A and B are shown apart, each in its own frame.
Chain A
Amino acid sequence: MFSLLCTGVCNLLIANLLLVEFLHMGTHDLHPHVVDHRQELKHILLFGFCYEDVVYSLPLFSHSSILYPVLVHTQQLPYRKGLTNSARKIDMAIENEQPAVGLSKVAVSETHGEDSPYFAGWKAYDENPYDESSNQSGVIQMGLAENQVSFDLLEKYLEEHSEASSWGIGAPGFRENALFQDYHGLKSFRQAMANFMEQIRGGRAKFDPDRIVLTAGATAANELLTFILADPGDALLVPTPYYPGLDRDLRWRTGVKIVPIHCDSSNNFQVTPEALEAAYECAESMNLKVRGVLITNPSNPLGATIQRSVLEEILDFVTRKNIHLVSDEIYSGSTFSSSEFISIAEILEAHDYKNSERVHIVYSLSKDLGLPGFRVGTIYSYNDKVVTTARRMSSFTLISSQTQHLLACMLSNKEFTENYIKTNRESLRKRYEMIIKGLKNAGIECLKGNAGLFCWMNLSPLLEESTREGELALWKVILNEVRLNISPGSSCHCSEPGWFRVCFANMSEQTLEVALERIHKLMEQRKSKET
């Protein structure tokens, strides 16, 4: 149940106005997190307040008095546009009008998420991309989590194993490979993936190749699992901050909702049992059936692994609630030191695989191996029914057999994979230390990280106001003046403004130096402004 309390912050009139406009919006103008309860809203007394274009409500019958923020998409709030009432309504009516020939609701919705600032920065980069020689004043792309530090290893492998990776001299293997469309996937490839995943975890967990289901990328894997684990209208709990793509992957075509598990900097954004319970209750108060929890470990955007105790707590929580746990371990091979990553697989192993049929792992080679173009994703489930169903569903998104063949060869080569994993970790660690040092010299702190292709930078001291607007204003300055595309924390649903994700592995060291110099300059300018 919703209730809105009027306070002195904004008076009853504005609150009413706001709510009347809110109630007349088209469904697809609502922020994705808003559950459409407007019919109910109309019938109860207004009992809430709005602050900074966010409508806050106090749940009447909750155990806790946690404020549940109902986020209304900034751009749709009419009073910010400075238009008259009727003009606003017409404006919105035009915006809401369906195209002449009917498309589906999914097609006209904005749940594809591309209007997020996460993607707006990419546009700025596309229009003016930095180039070491030809465009030194261009925008440096630091919003794309790509791993470019280990290509030399891959190229060397290919040079030495040309025929095996291809189809042999005379291409005798071409025919069989080109015909192979079995959704079980190439056995040799699944075996190689299982081995690779074991090696990444230092042999601390075993993977059965027959539990590996192949999908065209982790994007497809996350969507596919959502189709299997939840019905339309159900909810998945996801710790914030999280990868913006999940808004699309988990929700767009599935009709499933995300309810955030709020984490904050007071404990380095770790998930707590209290936060888990709060999220669960929040979902219940909205009449949403929670089907599972999805964690990303190592975390994107935090760049940190989840601690063993936290993993235990999460596993305990999902077991008590009898719901699923999806662990997206796409960055598992990108931890800077092998021992620091603990996979959910290890926790299950320690528990003798009791209660494991609710656990599913998503993996991909896009980050660890730096091959996002090849579309290699996997689902590893401890639940037989999920494996069977996922396998059938993978028909919509199989991995090209050409690519399966190449990677089966590459990843079956133990010498190559061991060396790759070790060297990749080392190179990423060096890169991480370089950026941390550079940022520290500029007076900027980051969350202590130990994995991933990015760091979680704290620019809250620089904010004009400690709000989402303040963060976006600073982001625009960094994008347009400093010419760095970094990702604002709000696009990752971070509840504290001022944090930014900064990628460091998708460029050369020289480019990273240039980026650090620019940041240094910005900080110098700010310091001199203050004095």
Chain B
Amino acid sequence: MVAMSKIATGNGHGENSPYFDGWKAYETNPFHPTERPNGVIQMGLAENQLCFDFFQKWLMKHPEASLCSPEGVRKFKETALFQDYHGMPEFRKAVAKFMGKVRGDRVKFDPDRIVMSGGATGAHEMVTFCLADPGEAFLVPTPYYPGFDRDLRWRTRVELVPVDCESSNNFKITRTALEAAYEQAQAANLRVKGLLITNPSNPLGTILDRETLKSIVSFINEKNIHLIGDEIYSATVFMEPEFVSISEIIEEDIECNRDLIHIVYSLSKDMGLPGFRVGIVYSYNDAVVSCARKMSSFGLVSSQTQHLIASMLSDDDFVESFIVESKERLFKRHKYFTWSLSQVGIGSLQSNAGLFIWMDLRKLLKEKTFKAEMDLWQVIIKEVKLNVSPGSSFHCQEPGWFRVCFANMDDNTVEVALMRIRTFMLKNNEAMVPRSKLCRRSSLKLSLSRRKDDFITSPGIMSPHSPLPTSPLVRART
């Protein structure tokens, strides 16, 4: 038998994680409202499906954005031939502008620092190849996106050292935790080359506050290690507090060594276009930009897609209204979902971003172990028929947390999911909310008011024990 490499025969692909097991359950029996109403509902996939009508309207008005249309075909040849790894100037300009707008134009991004990659997956791997040698390490705060285990380690042979974060302080990244992780790496003879943060966080759905960001920047400068800020969810911050990007912090902090700062971005989450593989590496380090650009040959964005995205993101009106509308829809979905869960006694980490919530099912665990978490997860998949992602697959240090995605389905499917959860919780008799206040009519929907007026906006209210909102601003609609 002819042999393959160690990389090929090992488990670095990461697919043995429970993160993917649930997907398999979903794939064998996927939910469909009419054909398979008892199928598994996919809540393990962080996709943003709320704004496609927006795109469709824009595409109708701009046929020239597609090379296939009569209006666009005259650009076909030059686009099809364009394979320059610098990327189309219009594309880079448009993406830089978009990134700036997402940050409220508080920072400007230089189009010449924009490097393409095969999605954020490709971007992370590429940055790792640029910054670290095999056997060196990156620090990553837990819980973190399971894909990092593959993206940062598989072919690069770099190690990941977790920075432990706990629920006791809402999983904040503390200086103590960073130092502890650094020391742990030293003790294991691992040379730390960088720290990777995801902000807004996956799976937490929270953003890093200014103090934490400043503390992180000072930490990496002190240790002279790189900081990679994955800001893939930057446009999904649907509620105060406002998003603070690492790009803003370094503008304010003149002492920060900019050669250490790199941002990974993509259009897969903010715009909901994962299929188009638009990954971006933005580095403040010239040598990294130059090296990454050369490496991008292994994962360039299709020029056909560059052309479309350039057209779309150059349209200021479209971009501005998209950003606002997307946030609004995410806000509404998030609010309804978390409120409904609270009605049956399920709480989640208070969050203001992302396409998911970090659901707290600790009190449902038979015992405080990861085995119990897995058992509960099996029940959720097999009996409740929801694919949610167990916290252990995100390397969470405490059992009982689950990531639940809410933006990858329509309103009806949300209702079906909530009904299944309600049924399950009622059966389990764990709900703390008085039964008389539970709504039993499945068609009852609550319309929540604009976030500025809604008293629920102040964080901390959304716990399993909060009473039903009685504010006159909330209107029940049957």
- Partner of A372 from B83, B276, B294, B295 at Cβ < 8 Å: B83
- Is B390's CB within 8 Å of the partner chain A? no
| Complex Cα–Cα for A106 and B133 (A) | 7
| Complex Cα–Cα for A230 and B303 (A) | 31
| Complex Cα–Cα for A234 and B5 (A) | 10
Q: Known contacts A374-B303, A402-B275; is A228 also within 8 Å of B298 by CB?
A: no
Evaluate contact between A402 and B308: CB separation under 8 angstroms.
Answer: yes
Which one of A33-41, A167-175, A448-456 is at the B interface?
A: A167-175
CB contacts under 8 Å to A, within B102-149, are: 118-119, 121-122, 125, 129-134, 136
Evaluate contact between B287 and A179: CB separation under 8 angstroms.
Answer: no
- Is B67's CB within 8 Å of the partner chain A? yes
| Complex Cα–Cα for A312 and B4 (A) | 23
Which one of A389-397, A415-423, A481-489 is at the B interface?
A: A389-397
- Is A178's CB within 8 Å of the partner chain B? yes
Residues of A within 8 A of B477 (CB): none
Evaluate contact between A374 and B80: CB separation under 8 angstroms.
Answer: yes
Which one of A54-62, A154-162, A467-475, A515-523 is at the B interface?
A: A154-162
| Complex Cα–Cα for A17 and B191 (A) | 37
Evaluate contact between A162 and B56: CB separation under 8 angstroms.
Answer: no
- Is B259's CB within 8 Å of the partner chain A? yes
Which one of A8-16, A20-28, A213-221 is at the B interface?
A: A213-221
- Is A358's CB within 8 Å of the partner chain B? yes
Evaluate contact between B129 and A158: CB separation under 8 angstroms.
Answer: no
| Complex Cα–Cα for A230 and B55 (A) | 44
Which one of B6-14, B181-189, B361-369, B458-466 is at the A interface?
A: B6-14
- Is B302's CB within 8 Å of the partner chain A? yes
| Complex Cα–Cα for A159 and B201 (A) | 45
Size class of the B contact interface (CB-based, 8 Å): 35 or more
Which one of A70-78, A94-102, A263-271 is at the B interface?
A: A94-102
Q: Known contacts A104-B130, A178-B55; is A371 also within 8 Å of B300 by CB?
A: no
Evaluate contact between B82 and A400: CB separation under 8 angstroms.
Answer: no
| Complex Cα–Cα for A25 and B442 (A) | 76
B82 to chain A, nearest CB (A): 4
Evaluate contact between A103 and B130: CB separation under 8 angstroms.
Answer: yes
CB contacts under 8 Å to A, within B294-352, are: 294-295, 297-305, 308
Closest to A373 in B: B303
- Partner of A396 from B76, B77, B260, B298 at Cβ < 8 Å: B298
- Partner of B122 from A172, A230, A397 at Cβ < 8 Å: A397
Evaluate contact between B7 and A231: CB separation under 8 angstroms.
Answer: yes
Evaluate contact between A216 and B299: CB separation under 8 angstroms.
Answer: yes
Residues of B within 8 A of A180 (CB): 275
- Is A509's CB within 8 Å of the partner chain B? no
- Partner of B69 from A166, A230, A393 at Cβ < 8 Å: A166
In the complex, 14 of the A-B residue pairs with CB atoms within 8 angstroms, ordered by the A residue number, are A104-B133, A107-B131, A107-B287, A154-B80, A179-B275, A181-B275, A217-B83, A219-B297, A252-B295, A371-B80, A372-B83, A385-B4, A389-B4, A396-B151
The 10 closest A-B pairs by CB, nearest first: A401-B275, A373-B303, A400-B302, A165-B68, A166-B68, A372-B83, A181-B274, A175-B52, A180-B275, A397-B118
Given contacts A179-B274, A181-B275, A403-B304, 8 further A-B contacts (CB under 8 A): A151-B80, A174-B59, A216-B298, A220-B118, A227-B7, A371-B80, A386-B4, A395-B118
